[in-house]
Amino acid sequence: MAEMDGCEFSLLSLGDELTCSICLSTFDCPVTIPCGHNFCQECLLTTWKETYTCPQCRTHYTTKPELKKNTVLSAVVETFKVRSNSEADVSVSVSEMAESAAPTGAAIRCDTCMMAEAVKTCLTCMASYCSEHLRPHRDNPVFRVHQLTEPVGDVLERICPDHHKLMELFCTQHERLICTLCLQQVHKTCDFIAPEQQRTKQESNIRQKLGFLDNKIKQNEIVISQMREMQLTLKGSAKTKKLAMAHDYERIRDMLATEERAAMSVVDQELESTQTKLRVLMKRFSENIDNMNKAKVGIQSLLGQSQTLAFLQASLNLPKAAAFDPYAPRINFSSKKLTATEEFADNLKKQLCYILTQPVEARPLLTERVKKIQTGHPITSLPLEAKPINIKANKFTSHRKHNKPSPLQKDSMERLKNLSRSMENLLELGKPRPRPNLPPMHSEPKGKIDTMDRPDNLTADKRHNLLKYGTALTFDPKTAHKRIVLTEGLTRASVSDQAKPATRNDCPECFSVCSQVLASQGFTRGCHYWEVRLTNINLTGIGLAYGSIDRKGPRSRLGRNAQSWCLEWFNSKLSAWYDSSEIVVVNPNPKRVGVLLDCDSGSVTFYNVTDRAYPFHSFVFPFSEAVYPAFWIFTSESSISLCKQ
């Protein structure tokens, strides 16, 4: 019986497969066309008016194909209909049993007097009797063979509609009550049991289902309780993290306030120095004016001398200040300390602007650059907006020769260290922490992509940490270009010099310009990881694409549109492409590439997989729809295989 039930459920689960894609109903006289698809004969002929095209795969036929009835499918459909009707009958029987078992409050009356309450029902007479009218059945030996039972109200319903006899048997094959004549005629090859036995079985089955539902309800209640506890835990964790981050930002504000006070102090010192110089010069010019006024008074006195001899004997010497033309000195804020302070403030602003405009996931990468600034290593990869502080080396040449830094050099290096410490304190907030599965973040503007290159000295990930997100992939043959050949169970893609038949181009999902193919699996949430093995890595590309990517136009190539991201090996160069923008990446020449997709945070990272997984490039972008693994192969010497891991 268990085997029959299992077969029944497996057959009933094929309801979608036995449905016509035109009328969306179970097949009626199914026919098969040359492309292998099945339809109701009447439905298919209705769609064929002037042209003959498969409604499912759009295969076009120049002439009307010969329609043949699918006899095997017809037999399966008939069996499915019988099973479906039996399932409906069982449901009705169960509901009727429940209704009959429910207390109605109405007593069963005697069929003879129609007044007194019945105490027994005779299944031979098919009538119910009170204690008075039941006496002949108890006293007369003629009625001893009659079958008495507790009063039942559905006596007439137990009469066979075909033979008008009591249905006292249950056919297990057709799952219905039958009489003895039914057993001798229509059901002579069927197995049968007593209705009470069938009721016992159905009651047992219903109780099992009831117990199953009770168990599921308890499990759901337990899960809800766990999620409520998780809510409280997350609230506590969020409060702790907010306090910690508030403390960190308070420290940052204190450091910036200290730097601001120090910078203002340098400006005040410079102002005081220039004011002192000007006061000294003004005092000197005032003294010159006094001396020249005294000389002027002497000259006026001499001109007033009336005696010629005294006038001629008098001597007159002009003060030294009269020999020079007075001029206002050019004094401005030009001290090296103030210049270094200004450059430091400007570079700190640019560094902070650069950091804070990056996605949070990209900010930890700047730690290595800040360390290079702190240790004095050459910096070649900083963006233009974040130039390091420029200290004029020619001012310190004589000091460097003797390894004795000047006071100005010490001050500048100290500010460099303070800048590095400030950057590191800021970057402490961006360090990755274990992240729960959060809903997708779409608060960032959807526009130009933010890309980042992984530095070579980034710590490699252990491969088993990535494999826990492992996802098995297969190539989608419907999207493959006509030159793409898929083998090894749709896990290996290569290029053939001979194109496939032109009918492939009729498929709207396949790529017709670029030799590309998508995977069958698309992702909208969660973390997923897969690995690919590359043979002759030249002229190949791997990446991601939306399902809405153009399949026919010239911009259908991966990375040349806003619907795809791609790493492309072209000759000896490795480039990251998005929306026709190229970024040259250091080529690790991998034989096996791992791809980690995090849909929730909108990022994809590529790994060079050897004994460990070494990340070498990442894309960060808030995905707006499902993304599919995508691949490009140009030459027949190259191939891409999806690893089973």
Query: Which backbone phi and psi does 488 adopt, to 5 degrees?
Result: 55, 50
Domain 2-95 architecture: 2-Layer Sandwich (3.30)
- Is the pLDDT higher at 591 or at 645? 591
> Using one digit for the tens of pLDDT, what is the confidence trace for 454-486?
333 345 678 888 999 999 999 999 999 999 999
| Structure token pair of residue 406 | 């000047």
- The span from the CA of 288 to the CA of 341, in Å, is 38
Q: What is the mean pLDDT of residues 514-539?
A: 93
507 HSE (CA, 13 A, CB side): 17
Which class in CATH covers the domain with range 109-197? Answer: alpha beta
Token digits of residue 532: 């690919």
Reported as type and span, the H/E element at residue 451 is strand 450-452
Residue 362 has pLDDT above 60, yes or no: yes
State how far the alpha carbon of 464 is from the alpha carbons of 293, 456, 529, in Å. 95, 21, 11
**What residue type is assigned to position 238 of the chain?**
A
Q: Range with the lowest mean pLDDT among 514-518, 552-556, 594-598?
A: 552-556
What integer pLDDT is reported at residue 583 of this predicted model? 92
The whole-chain average pLDDT of the chain stands at 78
**What's the confidence (pLDDT) of residue 89?**
54
Distance CA 480, CA 633 (A): 11
Asked if 2-95 and 450-642 have one fold, the answer is: no
CB-based contacts of 427, cutoff 8 Å, min separation 6? 355, 363, 364, 366, 367, 370
Using DSSP bridges, classify how beta strands 564-570 and 573-578 pair: parallel, antiparallel or unpaired: antiparallel
Q: Which two tokens stand for residue 635?
A: 């030459």
Domain 450-642: state its class: mainly beta
> Sign (positive/negative) of CA torsion 479, 484, 488, 492?
negative
Q: How far apart, in Å, are the Cα atoms of 343 and each of 267, 351, 405?
A: 13, 12, 20
The whole-angstrom separation of Cα 260 and Cα 268 is 12
Is a pLDDT exceeding 60 seen at residue 213?
A: yes
CB 597 within 8 A of CB 627: yes
Please name the helix (run of DSSP H) or strand (run of DSSP E) that holds residue 639, with its range, or none: strand 639-642
What integer pLDDT is reported at residue 520 of this predicted model?
95
What is the per-residue pLDDT for 445?
Answer: 33
Q: Among 589, 596, 592, which residue's Cα sits nearest to residue 611?
A: 592
The values of phi and psi at residue 117, to 5°, are: -80, 135
Per-residue pLDDT, 416: 47
Q: Among 225-239, 431-445, 496-510, 563-577, where is mean pLDDT lowest?
A: 431-445
DSSP summary character for residue 82: H
pLDDT at 604: 94
Question: Looking at the predicted structure, is the pLDDT value of residue 295 above 70?
Answer: yes
Q: What is the pLDDT of residue 7?
A: 46
Positive/negative CA dihedral, 22, 24, 29, 34 = positive
Residue 537: CB partners within 8 Å, gap ≥ 6?
A: 569, 589, 590, 591, 638
pLDDT tens sequence across 121-137: 887 787 889 988 888 88
Domain boundaries, the chain: 2-95, 109-197, 198-302+312-323, 336-428, 450-642
45: which 2 tokens?
């002929």
Q: Give the separation between CA 638 and CA 576, rounded to whole angstroms.
A: 19
pLDDT digits (tens, 9 = 90+) for 262-283: 999 999 998 998 899 889 989 9
**For residues 49-76, average pLDDT:** 84
Q: Which of 64-78, 204-218, 297-311, 352-366 has the lowest mean pLDDT?
A: 352-366
